[in-house]
Structure 1
Amino acid sequence: MASLRVLCQVELPSGTLRFWDGSGGPFIDADGEIYRSCVLTEDALAQIEAAINAEAFTLSLVLSGVDGATSDAVWADYQDGNIVGSPFRILLQKCDDFEQPVGSSIVKFTGTVSNLNFVDQASDTGVSSTIQVDVANRFTLRNVTSGAVLSDVDQRARAKILNPSAPDDQFCERIPGLKDRTIRWPNW
């Protein structure tokens, strides 16, 4: 039976970090990129689903089981103040019956890292790191820094850059039509 892998990719100054949700060894995608295994909580998977469906604009992921070398590299970037604003993507990869990738992975969510928290635990087997990553998706922020609201043309252009695989954004053209509608609740 074919399966689907959830892949996370973070572009940090020290290099690109790639993770896949699951336990076991590394996963090599169709392009030859190596993803390390990590464990996402059930809550994180629900948040990813909401983000992919464009129902969430922020995403808070907890990555468990991150190896020491990766954790050290992320910590060095964090200490240098280079983490916030780093691009973060969630991709889906189709796999065949033998868990081998089929085709290229598909980008389903694009955002930037807004915060990062570390929790390290030491045990007899070594140090285990847990990293909480907060990601903001600017796609849903309709305001620019000055406080002005984006026009329909600006919003469509911005949406294409931030979420290239998403369908055309029609938010701005649908809102004016709602001003004359009456909301009746509850509808008995």
Structure 2
Amino acid sequence: MSSLRILCQVELPSGTLRFWDGSGGPFIDSDGEIYRACVLTEDALAQIEAAINAEAFTLSLVLSGIDEEASNAIWEDYQDGNIVGSTFRVLLQKCDDLDQPTGASIIKFTGTISNLNFVDQASDSGINSSIQVDVANRFTLRSVTNGAVLSDVDQRARAKISNPSAPDDKFCERIPGLKDRTIRWPQWG
């Protein structure tokens, strides 16, 4: 019976970090990239699903069980102030009956890291690190912190930031004209 793997890929200044949701050894995808095991929290799947379905424009994940080497690399970039703005991707990888990858992994969510918090817990067996990552996608640019509606000028400026090669965004210009329109359903027969 085939299965799916949830993969996370983070593009940090010090290099690319790859994680898969699960326990055990590393996972090697069909391109030969190595993903380290980590554990996502129970509510992470629901958050990932909402982000993939465009029902949420931010994604907050807690990664635990990360090995010391990866944790140290993330900490160094964090100390240098280079984490915020790094690209974060969630991918899905189809696997066969033997949990071997079939085909290329599919990118389902892309965003940039907006915040990162380290949570370390000491125990008899050593220090266990968890990392909370807050990721925002391009739709975050459409919201304003004070709750106000974007003006046409604001919308055009924000659209140029999120997609500089696209023509001018005329969304706010067209919306006021729709308030007097009537939606007519098709008449069958």
CA RMSD of aligned residues (A): 3.0
> What's the counterpart of residue 154 of structure 2?
148
1:7-38 deviations in whole A, cap 9, x for unaligned? 00000011111011111111000000010111
Q: Percent identity?
A: 79
C-alpha change, 1:160 and 1:124, in structure 2 (3 Å) is farther
> What's the counterpart of residue 44 of structure 2?
44
The alignment status of 1:107 with 2:99, answered yes or no, reads no
Provide TM-score, normalisation by structure 2: 0.79
2:56 & 2:174 partners in 1: Cα distance?
19
Once the 2 structures are TM-superposed, how far is the Cα of residue 123 of structure 1 from its aligned partner?
2.2
- 2:119 aligned partner, one-letter code: V
2:11 & 2:83 partners in 1: Cα distance?
9
Contact 2:155 2:172 in 1 (8 A): no
2:173 & 2:30 partners in 1: Cα distance?
39
> What's the counterpart of residue 34 of structure 1?
34
> What's the counterpart of residue 148 of structure 2?
none
1:172 & 1:102 partners in 2: Cα distance?
43
Match of 1:42, SS state, is coil
C-alpha change, 1:177 and 1:44, in structure 2 (3 Å) is farther
1:105-144 to 2 correspondences below 5 Å: 105-142=105-142
1:160 & 1:137 partners in 2: Cα distance?
18
Match of 2:163, SS state, is helix
Contact 1:115 1:133 in 2 (8 A): yes
2:130 & 2:72 partners in 1: Cα distance?
12
Question: How many pairs does the alignment contain?
Answer: 170
1:40-69 deviations in whole A, cap 9, x for unaligned? 112111110000001111110000111111
Provide TM-score, normalisation by structure 1: 0.79
Q: Which runs of 5+ in 1 are unaligned?
A: 162-170, 183-188
Contact 1:143 1:150 in 2 (8 A): no
1:160 & 1:65 partners in 2: Cα distance?
40
1:56-71 to 2 correspondences below 5 Å: 56-71=56-71
1:140 & 1:64 partners in 2: Cα distance?
26
Structure having the higher Rg: 2
